[in-house]
Amino acid sequence: MPDQSDDTDVIIRVNNLEHSYGSFKAVDGISFTVKKGEIFSFLGPNGAGKSTAINLLITLLTLQKGEAWVAGYNVADDPQKVRESIGIVFQDITLDRDMTVWEILEFHGRLYNMPREPRRKRIEELLQLVELGGKRDERVKNLSGGMKRRLEVARGLMTRPKVLFLDEPTIGLDPQTRMKMWDYIRDVNSTGTTVFLTTHYMDEADHLSDRISIIDNGKIIITGTTWGLKNSLGRDHIYLETSDNERAIRSLRDLPAAGEIRAKTKGFNVPVTIDGTKALPGILDILRREGIEVTTINIHKPTMDDVFVFYTGKEFRDDPGARGSDINARQSGRRGG
Partner 1 sequence: MAYGFATIYWRDMIRFIRFKTLLFASLLQPALWLAFFGIAMASNFDRLLAGAPVIPGVRVIGYLTFMGAGIIAMTTLFTSLFGGIVILFDKNWGLMREILASPMNRNHIIFGIGLSGITKSFIQAIIIMVFGLMLGAGFFVGYTPVQTVFSILGILAFVGMFALGFLFLSAAIAISMESPEGLQGVITLLTMPIFFASNALYPIDAFPEFLKVMSTYNPMTYLINGIRYFAIGPDFMAIGKHYSYTTGDILVSYLGLIVFTVLMFILAWWRFKKAIVT
Binding region for partner 1 (CB under 8 A): 55, 58-62, 80, 83-84, 86, 88, 90, 92-99, 103, 107-108, 110-113, 155, 334-335
Looking at the Cβ atoms of 48 and 58, the one nearer to partner 1 is 58
Cβ nearer to partner 1, comparing 26 with 233: 26
Nearer of residues 59 and 177 to partner 1, judged by Cβ: 59
Task: Report the run of H or E that residue 206 belongs to, with start and end.
Answer: helix 202-208
- Supply the minimum distance, in Å, between the C-beta of residue 19 and partner 1: 11
Name the minimum Å distance from CB 302 to partner 1: 36
The C-alpha atoms of residue 315 and residue 264 are separated, in whole angstroms, by 9
Residues 42-71 as b/e (b if ≥16 CB within 10 A, e otherwise) read bbbbbbbbbbbbbbbbbbebebeebbbbbb
What amino acid is encoded at 97 in this protein? R
Of 110 and 264, which has the nearer Cβ to partner 1? 110
Q: Where are the beta strands (DSSP E) in 247-290?
A: 262-263, 268-272
Q: How far is the CB of 93 from partner 1 (least distance, A)?
A: 7
CB of 194 to partner 1, least distance (A): 17
What letter represents residue 263's amino acid? A
Among residues 87, 56, 77, 83, the alpha carbon closest in space to that of 3 is found at 77
Q: Minimal distance in Å, beta carbon 138 to partner 1?
A: 13
Which CB atom, from 103 or from 138, has the smaller least distance to partner 1? 103
| Residue pair 336/42 in contact by the 8 Å Cβ criterion | no
